[in-house]
């Protein structure tokens, strides 16, 4: 019993730093340790941006709970777009506690 308990304590000590760091991050070209808010271009067909804009987002809390749909298709549907001209993305995070990633599409 004593070996089992010491094994459990050792395993907990090794995994606690990973679990307790709160790694809520979002895909971004650059990341800030304390705060991130960036926008980047993902794709463009070379044509001028259309008048319509659609957005789809996903978010994470403490890196433990993540929800949302940041897919291109959902962003396209949210904007009523049938032909996508360009795709951008935004990413933001605060202290690894909360992170948000959005896909933004432009088109006709």
| Tens-place pLDDT, residues 63-101 | 899 999 999 999 999 999 999 999 999 999 999 899 999
pLDDT band at 59; cut points 50, 70, 90: very high
4/38: higher pLDDT: 38
Mean pLDDT to the nearest integer, 59-66: 94
Instruction: Give, as one character, the DSSP assignment of residue 82.
Output: S
pTM: 0.72
Mean pLDDT of the chain: 81
Contact indicator for 106, 43 with CB cutoff of 8 Å: no
What lies within 8 Å, CB to CB, of 32 at 6+ separation is 93
Mean pLDDT to the nearest integer, 2-10: 54
């Amino acid at each position: 019993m004593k070996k089992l308990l010491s094994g459990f304590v050792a395993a907990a000590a090794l995994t606690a730093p990973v679990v307790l760091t709160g790694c809520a991050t979002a895909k971004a070209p650059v990341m800030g340790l304390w705060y991130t808010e960036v926008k980047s271009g993902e794709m463009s067909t070379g044509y001028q941006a259309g008048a319509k804009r659609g957005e789809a987002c996903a978010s994470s809390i403490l890196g433990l709970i993540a929800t949302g749909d940041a897919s291109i298709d959902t962003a396209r549907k949210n904007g009523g777009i049938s032909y996508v001209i360009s795709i951008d993305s935004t990413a933001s995070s605060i202290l690894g506690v909360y992170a948000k990633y959005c896909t933004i599409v432009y088109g006709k």
